[in-house]
Structure 1
Amino acid sequence: MLLYEAFADIPRPSEIDACPCCVDSKNLCVLTSLPLRDISADDLGPYAASAFLTVGDVPDYLYFLPRIMECSALNEFWWPVPEVTGRAIANTHPTEWPAPRRVAWHNFLSALIAHLLNQADSGSEIDSWLCAMARMELDLHPFLTQIEQSPPHVLSFYEANANHLTQLKLANQFWDLPNAGHDQILAWFGSENVGDIVFQAYGVILYHDCK
């Protein structure tokens, strides 16, 4: 995974600040002693879920981030869910990362969306990751353009949000409004191309409703 190379200049933390009531010190010792790729999803989960709340800071989080993303991408039911990870990543200001790191990040997320587009019935996962990316404060247009090329996945994503779109909202419970990415997705659902896909499948004139 190229993310490991993009973040390879970040040193392993020797210690991690944490609330002793919230994070087991033995767990933190595992994180600071094992090679990054050898840290298990179970060991990394408590840190990743609590990052910037009761444990961690930007330098150590960026060190663990490639492994966090690998665990998220490979384990559909891992906690933290992508939306929680997206909230944490925003604390590192990803739009201000060095250019090579931002390129690697975009390529990883684009490859992740491409992988989901090769899976049937992945609308809920697409919904989850787009919300996560929006919480990272990223521009969603490139990823929405990818999704638009697959009408079945447009419809699956639509079905995950259909009951809320008439209220100009998205259904994912992790949306914290206002959010620019949320508005980008609404505008995308309101576009003629996406609206036509939905109309042909369900007879719903979506783009009139969402403009």
Structure 2
Amino acid sequence: MKPNRSLALALDNAYAAFASYPPPIELEAAPTRDPKAILASLSAAPLRHLAGEQIGPYAGWAMTTVGTVLDYKHFLPRILEQAVMNNVWMGTEPTIIAQRLEMASWRAWPQEEQEAVESVFQASWSWARQLNPEDGGDAASWFCGLAVLGLDVQAAISDWLTPPPPEPGLQLALLVQDASGLLSRLDEELGYWSYVSEATREIVINWLLSEPVRASIEASLEMVEDFDRLSVQSALKTLDDIVRRTTRH
């Protein structure tokens, strides 16, 4: 689905913010990678027209086994755009991008670049929460990405329930399922939330267990198709199980 105006502008600003970083003429790579083949794929089209299969593999390997921070900065706008439009590769998952940004010490980058990153994550989350998950919206992943980057989750929490149902409730249902380990406070099941501060995790847990969140999820129950209804019912059961377990202790 085509991004809304705010998100499209944020993506355009990201391309402008990172435009000064040239494409690499060679790539550093671990022995297990083929840097020439990877570079050929990344050079097969102009940056903004690179397809998922051309940039996706690199995005998953970037700065771990392939390339430098400067290389990543060049490709970052397209990686972010793929995360919005065609998130099928590991390296284009918002939480993975957030981890890579942390690895690259993005808070030491020029202010314009930091603001571009923040704007894309915030606009992407805001856009996704208004979509049916079947239309490509993944608010849960963008929300976790915001938290990994240390951005203001409180603002996102305050705004999540403002659009009319059922979309916010459906997106919350997916967040509850994705964050079941977080809600259980089981360190070994935190997943991407292990990269988030304990204080922020507690804010998110308390919010997800609140009555307004449950009410939003329940409100979507009678407004969705059978497939989505199963997802909503599963989320409500997860919340019930967590509350029951917490009460027992």
- Which residue does 1:17 correspond to in 2? 28
Aligned ranges 1:95-106 → 2 under 5 Å: 95-106=107-118
Percent pairwise identity: 25
Contact 1:160 1:171 in 2 (8 A): no
SS of the equivalent of 2:194 reads coil
> 1:152 corresponds to which letter in structure 2?
G
Taking the aligned partners of 1:170 and 1:116, their CA distance within structure 2 comes to 28
SS of the equivalent of 2:71 reads helix
Q: CA 1:115–1:59 in structure 2 vs 1: closer, same or farther (change >3 Å)?
A: same
Aligned ranges 1:17-166 → 2 under 5 Å: 17-32=28-43, 34-80=45-91, 81-121=93-133, 125-150=138-163, 152=169, 155-157=172-174, 159-160=176-177, 163-164=180-181
Q: Structure 1 residue 32: deviation in Å?
A: 4.4
**Greater CA drift, 73-82 or 118-127:** 118-127
Which one has the bigger helix percentage? 2
How many pairs are equivalent?
A: 206
SS of the equivalent of 2:184 reads coil
Aligned Cα RMSD in Å? 3.4
Q: CA 1:176–1:110 in structure 2 vs 1: closer, same or farther (change >3 Å)?
A: closer
Q: Structure 1 residue 36: deviation in Å?
A: 1.3
Structure-2-length-normalised TM-score? 0.67
> 1:196 corresponds to which letter in structure 2?
E
Unaligned residue ranges in structure 2 (runs of 5+)? 1-11, 219-235
Contact 1:2 1:104 in 2 (8 A): yes
Q: Structure 1 residue 24: deviation in Å?
A: 5.0
Unaligned residue ranges in structure 1 (runs of 5+)? none
SS of the equivalent of 1:54 reads coil
Taking the aligned partners of 1:157 and 1:185, their CA distance within structure 2 comes to 17
Taking the aligned partners of 1:198 and 1:137, their CA distance within structure 2 comes to 22
Q: Structure 1 residue 54: deviation in Å?
A: 0.9
Whether 2:190 is the aligned partner of 1:177: answer no
